[in-house]
Amino acid sequence: MPETDSPAGRGGAALFGNLAERLQAALGKLKGRGKLSERDVEEALREVRLALLEADVNFRVVKDFLAQVKERAVGQEVMQSLTPGQQVIKIVHEELTALMGGSHARLALSGKAPHVVMLVGLQGSGKTTSAAKLANLLRKQGHRPLLVAADVYRPAAIRQLEVLGQQLEVPVFSLGERHDPVDIARAALSHARDRGHDVVVVDTAGRLHVDEELMAELERMAEALNPRETLLVLDAMTGQEAVNVAQRFNERFELSGFILTKLDGDARGGAALSVRAVVGQPVKFAGVGEKLDQLEPFHPERMASRILGMGDVLTLIEKAQMAMDAEEAQRMAAKLKSAEFTLEDFLVQLRQVRNMGPLDQLLGMIPGLAGASQLKGLDVDEKQLKRIEAIIQSMTPEERAHPAIINGSRRRRIARGSGTSVQDVNRLLKQFEQTRGLLKQLGAGKGSRRARSIFARLFQG
């Protein structure tokens, strides 16, 4: 392995850095060459197989999945604008997305309240934090959640949930560490009924799927709680074991879904695909940071791109599909030359970025950027992005077109309107100015360099 500086967002993918080239070498770069032959498909899938394994998709899941894809792909017409290799990857991507479960699955909270949501999983997967985040989300949706601290084994786990509950102002039920978790479950449920909580989120102790004693204990808890949702909390960095874990938990608890945690890192997250494939239940939420509002609905499409990790190729495919891209790029280039790149353009770019998936992943997708050392250590913060978007949206069209007119009182108004501070507005304007300056310098440069500086500027400080 010669390459050691694989950039953020493409963890462990150095091997596949030049996948586009390898596909071309194997399949040629001639576009739209009639139907996909068996050989085309096999050659392309060999590369896909490596990519999936590097992303931690389970070995057997990869095998089954690719067999399925092959069946679908052989004989398909190659799009005019794509090479056979790209066509195969397009199919892989579609199948992956479908397998990951179409659109976002919601919590099933119907029937008689209180509804119990029980979080289970291995040690250290992120159950306690996820429980608090979920309660936070539910409360924002108008529910009256109760958190239940039932991890009596890990030292101070109960205390941890209590602190989080305090921060959120969500009540936490606990009986301390010296009670049987089954008793805690029962007491919590009647407490919830008494106090009129409609949702009960239960944090359980981490346990190994092969720990018979603790699995049996969890079964007794489930009997007492009769949970509407049993969610397995899974670390996005989990390797090949994910299937065994998910299978074991599912056998005993009939999982209704998963929460995938620590997705803000650079793990490709193939475990998500594995567990979906073996259990058949969807990933319902993704943890994307340590803060308590950093739990998001899960997006299968983004995850499919991330797992596949073939940024270069996927981008090419997208380009081929969206004719608009070329025009847009030209328009932007023209604007740059005349230095009239406005906040409006800035926002358009931001929106495009947001539509395309996790940022760190996106950065890896930009051709020529994958190996850029400048990207190393770039701290991409989705929340910051949202804030910038809010600020620009609070500006009038005139302000967006001519940022120079944004004086002190306008700044205050914008800050108020976007729920940010004047410092935030100032910082954004400064970043914008710097970006524009840079863009001017790079106006003649290649697209990738331009993009790089935009992103680099955006996420500094």
Partner 1 sequence: MTGLRPDAGEWSHLMRERALTFERRQNMGEGGGWFSRLRAGLAKTRAGLASRVEGLLSGRGGRIDESVYEGLEEALVLADAGVTATMSIMERLRERAKREAPKGAEDLKRMLKEEIAALLRPVARPLALDPPGLAAAMVVGVNGSGKTTSVGKLAWRLQREGRQVIIGAADTFRAAAIEQLQVWGRRAGAAVIAHEPGADPAAVAFDAAQAAVARGADVLLVDTAGRLHTRTNLMEELRKVHRVMTSRLGQPLREVLLVLDATTGQNGLVQARQFAEAVPLTGIVLTKLDGTAKGGIVIAIASELGLPVKLVGVGEGAEDLQDFAPEAFAEALFS
Ligand X SMILES: Nc1nc2c(ncn2[C@@H]2O[C@H](COP(=O)(O)OP(=O)(O)O)[C@@H](O)[C@H]2O)c(=O)[nH]1
Rg (CA), the chain: 25
For the bound state, the minimum distance from the C-beta of residue 267 to ligand X, rounded and expressed in Å, comes to 16
**Choices 194-202, 238-246, 332-340, 449-457; region in contact with partner 1 by CB under 8 A:** 238-246
| Span of 221-229, 265-273, 295-303, 349-357 interacting with partner 1 by CB under 8 A | 265-273
Whole-angstrom Cα distance, residue 215 to residue 415? 51
The answer to whether 252 and 219 have CB atoms below 8 angstroms apart is yes
Pick 123 or 321: Cβ nearer ligand X:
123
Of 74 and 214, nearer to ligand X (C-beta) is 214
Nearest to 200 by CA among 176, 226, 180, 218: 226
Letters for 285-314 (x = contact with partner 1 by CB under 8 A, - = none) are: -----x------------------------
Tell me the closest approach of the beta carbon of residue 270 to ligand X, in angstroms. Answer: 22
Nearer to ligand X among residue 154 and residue 410 (C-beta): 154
Q: Which of residues 394-453 bind partner 1 (CB under 8 A)?
A: none
Does 49 sit near ligand X (CB under 6 A)?
no
Range in contact with partner 1 (rule: CB under 8 A) among 22-30, 86-94, 100-108, 150-158: 150-158
Sheet holding 257-261, edge to edge: 172-173, 145-150, 199-204, 115-120, 229-235, 257-261, 283-287, 295-297
**In the complex, least distance from residue 52 CB atom to partner 1, rounded to whole angstroms:** 10
Burial class (CB in 10 A: 0-12, 13-18, 19+), 180: middle
Residue 446, class by beta-carbon neighbours within 10 Å (0-12 exposed, 13-18 middle, 19+ buried)? exposed
Q: Which one, 4 or 407, has the nearer CB to partner 1? A: 4
Give the pair of three-digit tokens for residue 275.
């567990």
Min separation Cβ 3 and partner 1, Å: 11
Residue 6 touching partner 1 (CB under 8 A)? yes
Q: Output the CA–CA distances (angstroms, integers) from residue 366 to 97, 227, 278, in the order listed.
A: 21, 44, 33
Residue 236 CB, shortest distance to partner 1, in Å, is 8
- 185-224 footprint of ligand X as x/- string (CB under 6 A): ---------------------x-x----------------
Q: List the interface residues with ligand X, window 102-161 (CB under 6 A).
A: 123-124, 154
Q: How far is the CB of 262 from ligand X (least distance, A)?
A: 11
Each residue 34-63 as x (binds partner 1 by CB under 8 A) or -, in order, gives ----------------x--xxxx-xx----
The binder of partner 1 chosen from 72, 139, 154, 440 (CB under 8 A):
154
Q: Which residue is nearest to ligand X (CB)?
A: 123
**Contact residue for partner 1 among 34, 111, 169, 178 (CB under 8 A):** 178
Query: What CA–CA distances, in Å, run from 459 to 293, 345, 387, 388?
Result: 20, 17, 12, 11
Nearest to 43 by CA among 18, 17, 25, 55: 25
For ligand X (CB under 6 A), the number of binding residues is 5
Position among 92, 201, 221, 267 found at the interface with partner 1 (CB under 8 A)? 267
264 sits near partner 1 (criterion: CB under 8 A): yes
Handedness of CA 452, 453, 454, 456 (dihedral sign): positive
Q: Which is nearer to ligand X, 76 or 244 (CB)?
A: 244
Q: Cis before residue 114, ω within 30 degrees of 0?
A: yes
d(CA 342, CA 136): 37
Q: Please choose, out of 94-102, 121-129, 221-229, 384-392, the segment that lies near partner 1 by the rule CB under 8 A.
A: 121-129
Structure tokens at 106: 């919601």
Closest CA to 134 of 231, 53, 49: 231
Count of residues that bind partner 1 according to CB under 8 A: 63
Residue 103 or residue 123: which is nearer to ligand X going by CB? Answer: 123
Q: How far is CA 376 from CA 206, 394, 456, in A?
A: 34, 32, 10
Please choose, from the candidates 159, 156, 155, the residue with its C-alpha nearest in 3D space to the C-alpha of residue 147. Answer: 159
Cα 457 → chain centroid: 23
The secondary structure of 94-151 as a DSSP string is HHHHHHHTSSPPPP---SSSPEEEEEE-STTSSHHHHHHHHHHHHHHTT--EEEEEE-
Collect all residues with Cβ–Cβ distance below 8 Å to 39 and sequence separation of at least 6: none
Q: Which residues bind partner 1 (CB under 8 A)?
A: 1, 4, 6, 8, 11-12, 15, 50, 53-56, 58-59, 122-126, 153-157, 159-164, 167, 177-178, 208-213, 235, 237-242, 244-245, 247-248, 262, 264-268, 270-271, 290, 360, 377-379
The residue ranges that bind ligand X (CB under 6 A) are 123-124, 154, 206, 208
